[in-house]
Amino acid sequence: MYNYHTDLVFKIDIALLGVFILLGVMTVLYALMKEASSRRRSREISNIKNNVYELILSGQKIDNKLCLPAFSGITPRQFLDAAVNRSREAVFFNESEQKVIKQCFLSAERAARIEKTAGRSWNKWRRIEAILSLGYAQSVSSLGVLKKSINDSDADLSYFSIIALGQIHSIASARILLDFLKSSRFHRHKVIAVLETFPKEIGREAVLLTHAKDPEVSSWAIKLISKLKPEGCLKEITGLLQDNSEEVRAAACACLGELGDREAKGALIKCLNDDLWLVRAHAVKALSKLLGKECLPEVIRLINDPSLSVIDSLKGVLAEHIVSAIPYLEKFLSGSDEISRRVAREVLEVAGYIVKMLKDILSSGDEEKIRAVRLLEGMAKSGAHFGLEAALMSFSGEEQERILTVIRNMDKQMAEHIAKHMAGEMHKPL
Amino acid sequence: MSIILARITYAMFFVFLGYFLLLSAFYFFLSFVGFFEGRKRSWESEEEDYPLIYLSGIAIPVTIVIPARNEEAWIRDSLLSVLNLNYPKFEVIIVDDGSQDNTFGVVDAMLKLRPIDIPYIKHYKDGLVHAIFKSEKYPHVTVIRKQAGVKKAGSVNSGLNMARNEYICVVDADTVLDPNALLKVMACVEREPGKVVGVGSYFGLANDLKIKDGRVIERNLSFNPIIAYQNLEYIRSFIGNRIGWSKYNAMPVVAGGFSMWRRDILHALGGFSADFTCEDIEFTFRAHAYLAKNKDKDHKIIMLPYAVGWTEGPGNFRSLISQRSRWQRVTDETVAHYKYMIFNPGYGSFAFLTIPYFLFYEVFGVFFEIGSIIFVIAGWALGMLDIRTFFAFILLMVLSQAVISLFSIFSFIRVQRIFRPRYIIYLIVLSFVEFLWYRWIISAAKLLGTYTFFRGVKEHNQYQRVKRVKV
């Protein structure tokens, strides 16, 4: 008989059994503790809410002296629970209650303690809680600590410092964030998301970043400018239309559209001839924002653009200004270019113009009727059918028949196809 | 003869013993890593400023694709849960993959559909598309009706053909999402939009949950052992296993029930492939291969511990075996297809950690497990093993499995509060007896899957849906 080391296997079994029992007990205890701690947390937040409520009811001017007895033991975590409504399902703090708690949280002594935690605690998540509580308490005096933590090598510390700085809506905090945007490759999206909630004046600071060496920094700065719309930056942004980076040129086009200054018209029209589709697509949209329906004569020539994305932008613009676009669409429908015909059909569909066209066919006004029939004929010839069927559903039986008669005169087969589908076959299982 | 048999028995004993010990060590390691990684994600989620993302004008837009085939029982709740998502920018594309039941009727009644005539460009292989509809009630919802036959991959590809946004989220039509699912996942993406190419997250089983109008109104988890064991397996797989992989950027699969992919990756890889039984695991392998080949070392395919939703699991053994044999088959297909990556330094941790594990445990594990039980019983019956050795070995198999499960449960309750203490105790008890019965049902399914793999079967057989009780 070979030695199977059964005793050793049994010892492993006993060790595993020990681990199993230990882990089992730990798991159950932990689950129970977690339930209890969650209940305790809710209770504590309720107490804070009561204290805040009493303070508000007292009607006195809220100062440190009044706050101290009620909020002496509050921790950063409890403060965040209240200030950010993390436990909203259990206890909800309204805006005025949040204002009181933010006002009461930071006494000079506590601020120093929290700043110390934010700067030095060995527990990273405790540091983050401290950083966030400084932010949510809008502690302007803590900007130095936050500036240090945003540049920390730990990605989490840096990330939550951005959020904290975003809560302090000041020029100084914005400068720290913009410096970070320039110097770091990380969290740029978040920095802009935070800064877009800042006052307009920050936009001027962002303009300085538009000439950064890194095109990514420039384009993020331009995106921020288009959200904040600061005054007097048109010249700088127009100048960026000549930038070497297509990303910057495209962002500049979009920004000019958002700024809404008609002086940019000429520069944007030039961009319709840009070598890169990204710039052309943004220029089309920007011109529409800037000029409204007046942009159509300029942008319509891009119907033959080799890029589908540019055509997509054009479709959006045509649908947006559908009434003014009808003469162009008629021309496309009667033309021989398949892409133009498809664009026209889709624009009519997306803009919801088909129902109006059918109503016009039934109307007594001659001019409207003739135009509508011409448009319908164009659609019929270009092979459109689904849009017609759905639109016809909203008419009465007699009206449907009148419209179908008009279609029958144009294309008998198509009228039959539509009638068949309207009978409900389209909605049956395949 | 008996000497040779004794020698073989002796050698086999240590082979099987080694297998269980190695597997346990591997799982302990992954659970340990997953515990800390899950804790980190849980902290991140707690401290995140979600209103800032929700109100942001530059939130990253997402396209949600819902492939549906004969899902009339679930599609309403699933769709409502998607429409109720707290996220500022998203579009929804539902793909009716030739349903034979009233799936389309349910969708039509909910959304008030009108057919539209817009260009449909086939970038990805999807099969014949019959019609495209827009919802009159929800302008951001599109429905595509197509002919069945290109599996789920074809349906998802149809959605991709119409998708316009930077990130694509594929959600199964029998999955009910948590209202904050997208917000939580995208918060993670927004931290590193240039790096995150794929994201998966935990989802539990919806069987027996009370769901009304797309919302879970009572989370009384099922005590039915078939469902509870599946819950245990999901925890083991998502929390005890994949989060650990994710830490080393070696995630083997972003589960198809809820998966998020960056569109440029989907485009570069030509969408999902219908050449395999299922699409999710193969696509994850392909994405790793592609990113490694292109020397994109910064990319991340990550797993999150948040409960993003609830999906229907098989409610009886027949359905369970059908589902698991399908999973085994696609695992075998994928590993066989990507075998060239194994121990190839160009593919990094995926080649040295994930694929060897898959080969060792997911592909050949079933043979070790079934082989070991046959071996100990036969060895004891033939008098090669004494009764003490027999029991010691059986106990080792039971306990290693149970301890692995318990590690995962502990990691899970650290990051989630879904299970009540009573249910946790129930899962602990189930984990102890798993090896005595449930494990063998799964092993049988895996054997069946392996058999069908060798036979070249590739069909995606949908198991029978559980009848839902109206709330």
Q: Which residues of B touch A9 (CB under 8 A)?
A: 17, 389, 392-393, 396
**Is the per-residue pLDDT at A346 higher than 90?**
no
CA distances from A180 to A192, B56, B330 (A): 11, 20, 47
| Mean pLDDT over the full length of chain A | 87
Is the model's pLDDT at A368 over the cut of 70? yes
Within a domain: B35: no
Say if B37 falls within a structural domain: no
Q: Which among B52, B116, B121 has the least Cβ separation from residue A194?
A: B52
pLDDT of residue B470: 57
Number of H helices and E strands in chain A, helices first, is 25, 0
Q: What pLDDT score does B107 carry?
A: 96
Tokens of A70: 């009620």
- For B10, the closest of A2, A30, A189 (CB atoms) is A2
Please check whether residue B111 lies inside any domain of the structure. Answer: yes
Tell me how close the Cα of B329 comes to any Cα of chain A, in angstroms.
30
Question: Residue B174's pLDDT is what?
Answer: 92
Asked if A4 reaches chain B (Cβ–Cβ under 8 Å), the answer is yes
Average pLDDT of span A57-73: 75
The answer to whether the CB of B243 falls within 8 A of the CB of B309 is no
For β-strands B113-116 and B129-135, DSSP reports them as antiparallel
User: Which residue on chain B is closest to A187 by alpha carbon?
Assistant: B191
Domain parsing of chain A, residue ranges: 321-430
Query: Which pLDDT score, from 0 to 100, does residue B464 have?
Result: 66
Note whether residue B36 is domain-resident.
no
Distance from CA of A367 to the nearest CA of B (A): 27
Write the CB contacts of A254 (distance below 8 Å, at least 6 apart in sequence): A222, A223, A226, A282, A285, A286
> With 80 as the cut, is the pLDDT of residue A62 above it?
no
Q: Measure Cα distances from B101 to A360, B73, B105, B214 in Å.
A: 40, 10, 9, 20
Look at residue B463 and tell me if it is in a domain. no
- Number of Cβ within 10 Å of residue B164's Cβ equals 11
Task: Find the largest Cα–Cα distance for chain B.
Answer: 80
A231 Cβ neighbours under 8 A, 6+ residues apart: A200
Q: Say whether both B255 and B398 belong to one domain.
A: no
In a domain, B387, yes or no: yes
Q: Across the interface, do B406 and A24 touch by the CB < 8 Å criterion?
A: yes
B116·A31 Cβ contact <8 A: no
Chain B neighbours among A 143-162 (CB < 8 Å)?
155-156, 159-160
Q: Domain check: are B303 and B242 in the same one?
A: yes
Q: Residue B35, Cβ neighbours under 10 Å: how many?
A: 21
DSSP state, residue A62:
P
Residue entry with tokens 């460009």: B121
Residue A20 and residue B403: Cβ atoms within 8 Å? yes
Same-domain pairing of B197 and B285: yes
Q: Is A345's pLDDT higher than 90?
A: no
For A372-423, what is each residue's pLDDT tens digit? 888 888 887 776 666 677 778 778 888 888 888 888 888 888 788 777 777 7
Can you name the residues that pair with B452 across neighbouring β-strands?
A: none
Res. A197: pLDDT tops 70 = yes
Q: pLDDT tens string for chain B (471 positions)?
A: 678 888 888 888 889 989 988 988 988 899 899 999 999 999 999 899 998 999 888 899 999 999 999 999 999 999 999 999 999 999 999 999 999 999 999 999 999 988 887 778 888 999 899 889 989 899 999 999 999 888 999 999 999 999 999 999 999 999 999 999 999 999 999 988 888 999 999 999 998 888 999 998 888 888 999 999 999 999 999 998 899 999 999 999 999 999 999 999 999 999 999 999 999 999 999 999 999 988 877 889 999 999 999 999 998 999 999 999 999 999 999 999 999 999 999 998 899 989 999 999 999 999 999 999 998 899 889 888 889 989 999 999 999 989 999 999 999 998 888 888 899 999 999 999 998 889 999 999 999 999 999 998 887 776 666 666 555
Q: Cβ of A13 under 8 Å from any chain B Cβ?
A: yes
Q: Do A27 and B389 touch (CB under 8 A)?
A: no
Query: What is the pairing mode between strands B167-171 and B258-262?
Result: antiparallel
Of residues B289 and A87, the one with the higher pLDDT is: B289
Q: Domain of residue B435: give its range.
A: 2-26+356-454
- The kind and range of the H/E element at A222 are helix A215-228
Say which of B57, B131, B424 has its CB closest to residue A386.
B131
Interface of A with B in 279-318 (CB under 8 A): 308
Which A positions 106-145 lie with beta carbon below 8 A of chain B?
Answer: 125, 128-129, 132
Report the gap between the CA of A164 and the closest CA in chain B (Å). Answer: 10
Same domain, B386 and B290: no
Phi, psi of A291 (to 5 degrees): -110, -10
Q: Could you tell me if A210 and A220 are in contact, meaning their C-beta atoms sit under 8 angstroms apart? A: no
Q: Which of B191, B386, B403 sits opposite A16 (nearest CB)?
A: B403
Unique residue bearing structure tokens 């203490």: B421
pLDDT at position A429 is 43
Q: What is the pLDDT of residue A352?
A: 81
Tell if the CB–CB gap between B13 and A4 is shorter than 8 Å.
yes
3-state per-residue secondary structure call for chain B: CHHHHHHHHHHHHHHHHHHHHHHHHHHHHHHHHHHHHHHHHHHHHHHCCHHHHHHCCCCCCEEEEEEECCCCCCHHHHHHHHHCCCCCCEEEEEEEECCCCCHHHHHHHHHCEEEECCCCCCCCCCCCEEEEEEECCCCCEEEEEECCCCHHHHHHHHHHHHCCCCEEEEECCCEEECCCHHHHHHHHHHHCCCCEEEEEEEEEECCCCEEECCEEEECCCCCCHHHHHHHHHHHHHHHHHHHHHHHCCCCCCCCCCEEEEEHHHHHHCCCCCCCCCCCHHHHHHHHHHHHHHCCCCCCEEEEEEEEEEEECCCCCHHHHHHHHHHHHHHHHHHHHHCHHHCCCHHHHHHHHHHHHHHHHHHHCHHHHHHHHHHHHHHHHHCCCCCHHHHHHHHHHHHHHHHHHHHHHHHHHHHHCCCCCHHHHHHHHHHHHHHHHCHHHHHHHHHHHHHHHHHCCCCCCCCCCCCCCCCC
Rounded Cα distance between A101 and A108, Å, is: 15
**Total tally of structural domains belonging to chain B:** 2
Residue of B nearest to A197 (CA): B56
User: Domain check: are B410 and B389 in the same one?
Assistant: yes
Residues in B closer than 8 angstroms to A349, CB to CB, are 116-118
Task: Classify residue B462: in a domain, yes or no.
Answer: no
Q: Are residues B390 and B318 in the same domain?
A: no
Point out the domain boundary residue: B350, B370, B387: B350
Cα separation of A103 and B202, whole Å?
A: 39
Average pLDDT in the A305-322 region?
92
Residues B304 and B396 in one domain: no
Q: What residues of chain A lie within 8 A of the CB of B58, using their CB?
A: 189, 192-193, 196, 223, 227
Q: Are residues B143 and B264 in the same domain?
A: yes
Q: Is residue B448 part of a domain?
A: yes
Q: Do A9 and B409 touch (CB under 8 A)?
A: no
Q: Provide the pLDDT for residue B412.
A: 92
Q: Would the CB atoms of B410 and A23 count as touching at under 8 Å?
A: yes
Q: Is A263 helix (H, G, I), strand (E, B) or coil?
A: helix
B316 with B392, same domain? no
Q: Answer yes or no: do B128 and B150 share one domain.
A: yes
Tell me, yes or no, whether B80 and B177 share the same domain: yes
Q: Cβ contact (<8 Å) for B43 and A223? A: no
Asked whether residue B369 falls in the same domain as residue B447, the answer is yes
Q: Does the pLDDT value for residue A430 go beyond 50?
A: no
Give me the percent of chain A exceeding a pLDDT of 90. 46
Task: Inspect the interface and report whether the beta carbons of A390 and B21 lie closer than 8 Å.
Answer: no
Q: Pick from A38, A186, A349: which is nearest to B117 by CB?
A: A349
